[in-house]
Structure 1
Amino acid sequence: MGRTTYEIFAGSWPKETGDFADRFNALPKYVASTSLKALDWKPSELLKGALPQAVRQLKQGSGGNIYVHGSLSVAQELLRHNLVDRVRLLSYPGAVGQGKPLFPSGEQVPLELISATQFSNGVVSLEYSAVVAKS
Structure 2
Amino acid sequence: MSVIVVEFLTLDGVVEDPDGSGGTATGGWAFRHGPEAVAGDKFRLGDLLDTGTLLLGRTTWELFSKLWPGRTDEFSVRLNNAAKLIASRTLDDVSAWQNSSLLQGDLVDEVRRHEGELIVIGSVGIAQTLAGHGLVDEYRLLVFPSVVGVGRRLFEAPADLALVSATQVGSAVLGTYRTR
TM-score by length of 1: 0.87
By how many angstroms is 1:65 displaced? 2.2
Q: Which residue of structure 1 aligns with residue 110 of structure 2? A: 54
* Structure with larger RCO (C-alpha < 8 A, sep 6+): 2
Q: Counterparts of 1:44 and 1:20 in 2: how far apart (Å)?
A: 17
Q: Post-superposition shift, 1:122?
A: 2.1
Corresponding residue of 1:130: 179
Q: Which residue of 1 aligns with 2:35?
A: none
**Match 2:142 to one of 79, 90, 97:** 90
Q: Which runs of 4+ in 1 moved over 4 A?
A: none
Tell me the SS of whatever aligns to 2:92: coil
RMSD of the alignment, in Å? 1.0
Match of 1:118?
A: 168
Select the structure that is richer in strand: 2
Give the alignment's TM-score, normalised by structure 2. 0.66
User: Please, which of 104, 109, 114 is the counterpart of residue 159 of structure 2?
Assistant: 109
Deviations 1:51-92 (A, max 9, x none): 00111111xx2xx42111110101000101111110111111
Which AA in structure 2 matches 1:78?
Answer: L
The percentage of aligned residue pairs carrying the same residue is 42
For structure 2, which runs of at least 5 residues remain unmatched after alignment?
A: 1-55
Which is helix-richer, 1 or 2?
1
- In structure 2, the partner of 1:81 is 133
- Structure 1 residue runs of 5 or longer lacking an equivalent are none
Task: Answer with 1 or 2: which has the greater Rg.
Answer: 1
| Structure 2 counterparts to residues 9-24 of structure 1, below 5 A | 9-24=64-79
The CA distance in 2 between the partners of 1:110 and 1:50, in whole Å, is: 27
Q: How many residues align?
A: 124
